[in-house]
Amino acid sequence: MRSKRLLFLSIVLFGAAAICIFVLFYFRINPAGAQVDENEKIYSRYYAMICDDRNSSFWQHVYQGMTEATENSDCYVDFFGADLNSELDTLELMDIAISSKVDGIMVLGNERGDMTALIDKAVDSGIPVVTMYTDNADSKRCSFVGVSAYTIGKEYGRQILNAVLERDRLAGEENNSRENKVTVLFDNSNLLYDHNLIISGISDVLNTEAGSMSFLTDSVTVDDVSPFSVEESIRDIFMQEETPDILVCLSELDTTCAYQALIDHNLVGSVYILGYHDSEKILNAINRSVVYSTLSVDTEEMGRHCVEALDEYIESGNTNQYFSTDVTMIDRNNVSDYLNRKEEDDE
């Protein structure tokens, strides 16, 4: 009899705990369902922003652009999954957002079939979807906000030429005709950009503007399951008998791991790193001449365009199919301007 009572009590307690967790999570992802006092603002639209690496400064800045775009409106943007202890992936968060009946979704796109299916599911449920940063062109998304992969390739191509010219000038070899090895790092798990378009952009610039300079361009796939695996992949490159002259990084994590490996292997000045994003760490590395330059995407503009695309679609039923986001190359000539801005933002 005592054991039955204990079993019954355990079941009751477990059920109560489950209900509490459900209620808390429901109100976390459905703020409109929670009770508010007279002084709290009630929003008519609830948007979900969904991406993979929610801790990166890149996505924090994109979210900042979204919140600034909604400051004077009755729209609320939720950085979906940012406050959850469990590491839900992009597809799981998409499922939750659809089930929660949010008013709009802004998601890091990719061309995988499972992502296409979820975007179409959301749209068929009456939830418009904007893909950001990278697209899913086969889906029913209403708009894409990002940067052309070919444009990114051309920007890196010009920086490759500048880096080799500077290296040869410093070495007193201004007419050096030796072959320069360029290695481009691509991530394995999420294909953020069209690899072929980036390589095409780089190759087109090198083929038309290199003059007598010779280049060999290849790519390496980085195992980006974890920061540790990224570090290992990049260290393997520097452990080879022939290291690249130029290393092109296409993510914030790849860039920070690459310049740390460069320092550890005493290759500063021998390998030129072209980075990605303008985090404070990367800007300081440029200032110390460890990283040659970095490509900065206007993240706040990206966030603003995402909100504008959803607003326009909900209000009129139409919006632009593509919003282009500006990019800027940061090197030693202008890095101080960006560092000063970071200091002003922190004050």
Q: Is-contact 273 292, C-beta < 8 A?
A: yes
- Residue 287: per-residue pLDDT: 95
pLDDT above 90: residue 187: no
CATH architecture of 149-297+330-346: 3-Layer(aba) Sandwich (3.40)
For residues 136 and 191, give the distance between their C-alpha atoms in angstroms, rounded to a whole number: 11
Residue with tokens 């839900």: 88
Strand ranges inside the chain, DSSP E: 45-50, 75-79, 104-108, 129-133, 143-146, 179-187, 214-222, 246-248, 272-276, 293-297, 322-324, 327-330
Model confidence band, residue 170 (pLDDT cutoffs 50, 70, 90):
confident
Segment among 127-136, 171-180, 208-217, 282-291 with least mean pLDDT: 171-180
Q: Of 146, 159, 72, 150, whose CA–CA distance to 309 is shortest?
A: 146
For residues 238 and 181, give the distance between their C-alpha atoms in angstroms, rounded to a whole number: 13
Q: 307: which 2 tokens? A: 């909100």
pLDDT above 50: residue 154: yes
299 CB neighbour count, 10 Å cutoff: 21
For residues 223 and 240, give the distance between their C-alpha atoms in angstroms, rounded to a whole number: 17
Q: Is-contact 295 276, C-beta < 8 A?
A: yes
Q: Is-contact 136 106, C-beta < 8 A?
A: no
Q: What percent of the chain clears pLDDT 90, i.e. is strictly above it?
A: 61
Same topology, domains 27-147+300-326 and 149-297+330-346? Answer is yes
Q: Is-contact 277 330, C-beta < 8 A?
A: no
If you average pLDDT over residues 224-247, what whole number do you get? 90
**Crossing angle, helix 90-99 and helix 113-124, to 10 degrees?**
10
**Crossing angle, helix 57-69 and helix 299-316, to 10 degrees?**
40
Distances (CA, A) of 242 to 76, 84, 230, 342: 52, 44, 20, 37
Beta-bridge partner residues of 45: 75
- In Å, the largest CA–CA distance within the chain is 93
Q: Of 25, 22, 31, 20, whose CA–CA distance to 102 is shortest?
A: 31
For residues 51 and 82, give the distance between their C-alpha atoms in angstroms, rounded to a whole number: 10
Q: Is-contact 50 115, C-beta < 8 A?
A: no
Contacts of 223 (CB under 8 A, 6+ apart): 188, 229, 230, 232, 233
3-class DSSP state for residue 107? Answer: strand
Strand order from edge to edge, sheet including 104-108: 75-79, 45-50, 104-108, 129-133, 143-146, 322-324
More reliable by pLDDT, 341 or 259: 259
Model confidence band, residue 163 (pLDDT cutoffs 50, 70, 90):
very high
For residues 140 and 146, give the distance between their C-alpha atoms in angstroms, rounded to a whole number: 17
Task: Give 27-147+300-326's CATH code, choosing from 3.40.30.10, 3.40.50.2300, 1.20.1050.10, 1.10.486.10.
Answer: 3.40.50.2300
- Residue 6: per-residue pLDDT: 52
Q: Of 117, 124, 98, whose CA–CA distance to 46 is shortest?
A: 98
pLDDT digits (tens, 9 = 90+) for 97-143: 999 999 999 999 888 899 999 999 999 999 999 999 889 989 999 99
Residue with tokens 């940063």: 133
- Residue 43: per-residue pLDDT: 81
- Residue ranges per structural domain of the chain: 27-147+300-326, 149-297+330-346
Residue with tokens 């010219």: 165
What pTM, to 2 d.p., does this model score?
0.78
Q: Of 289, 230, 281, 305, whose CA–CA distance to 58 is shortest?
A: 281
